[in-house]
Amino acid sequence: MATIKAAVCRAFGEPLIIEEVTLAAPGLGEVEVTLDAVAICHSDITFAEGAWGGNLPAVYGHEAAGVITAMGDACGDFQLGDTVVVTLIRACGDCPSCAGGTPTLCETPHDTMGGPLSDANGAPVDQAMACGAFAEKVVVSHRQIVKIPAEMARDAACLLSCGVITGVGAAVNAAGLRAGQDVVVIGAGGVGLNAIQGARIAGARRIVAVDMSEEKLQIARDFGATHGVLGTEKSPWKAAHEALGGRGADAVLVTVGAIPAYEQAPRYLGRGGRIVMIGMPHSGAKASYEPVILAAIGQGMIGSKMGDVVIQRDIPWMIDLYQQGRLKLDELVSGRWRLDQINEAIADTKTGSAKRNVILFDRNGAAG
């Protein structure tokens, strides 16, 4: 057992509370990771606001990087002292989805409320998204982690745990983009910028970013967008078609959870094209479509969870691209904060101007 500091959610929509909690020792197949950095994802904020339900009290956070400081038995090739990123993809490795090559859709349930966290009174604390990384340490399955170079900056590395793999993976894995195809990316936030990077890496001919902010459209160009369209225009899809030479896109990647974005997405799409649904609206929210149009011109819609990645395969090649200067990570970090500043960092993230805010810890485990 270890006593650590964590940012605990005790009421949806209320500020997180820095508390001392108890972290159980790692069991069979589990590792303890002392964290150096954890990024704030909009999914953490949405959960903490109660939009998707869940158990309370809870510790959120799922984009993390650190060092293995304790291990249970049967942890594969990992060793004490390994530098790793921690993801929420807790794949069993044996269910039909895992065996079929889609570990992001693992079918084996995991009781996060019965996980390694408890509060000062011994009551269970939910290890949200099987991570609970708004804390100094985590205990997770060894299947959730990937080794990274020890010299890699942790604030950049932690972004590989979710935002980067979700965006890049959506373009490369889910959309299956080929060289010469045209893409529209709706939303130029953290995931959207990585979807743009993924489209560029896949060899897309033209990449149109759509966002409500001219400033974010300029940033999107820095990440590989060839054109930018303001979503505040009366019919932004017309400007996108013009940018694509008078035709619709081969793929439309929706990286925001806004229902208007989903309802407008088919208007950007060309014949035989595909919409990839990445952003997650609140539970119960609905969008409407005219199916006959999609059927008549061979269009399709698919969902993509975490970029359909296999972390042990995809994170290493993304690190390789980063080391070659072909994948931007450092440029995604908007701000660096201490754990006791997490509510300020969340508020800054909610303004929509931040790409990724990162909480940093010192090597002694205290926020720094």
Quick one: average pLDDT of 137-162? 97
pLDDT tens across 228-274, in order?
999 999 999 999 999 999 999 999 999 999 999 999 999 999 999 99
pLDDT given at position 367: 37
Residues 36, 6: Cα–Cα separation, whole Å = 14
Q: Beta strand pairing status for 145-147 and 83-86?
A: antiparallel
- Find all residues with CB under 8 Å of 14, minimum gap 6, and list them: none
Please name each of the domains of the chain with its CATH number.
2-161+328-360 (3.90.180.10), 168-305 (3.40.50.720)
Q: What is the mean pLDDT of the chain?
A: 95
pLDDT given at position 354: 81
Residues 58, 289: Cα–Cα separation, whole Å = 36
CA atoms within 13 A on the CB side of 70: 14
- Under the phi-then-psi rule, with left for phi > 0, alpha for psi from -120 to 50, and beta for the rest, what region is 93? left
pLDDT given at position 353: 78
- Residue for token pair 């959309």: 175
Q: Report pTM.
A: 0.93
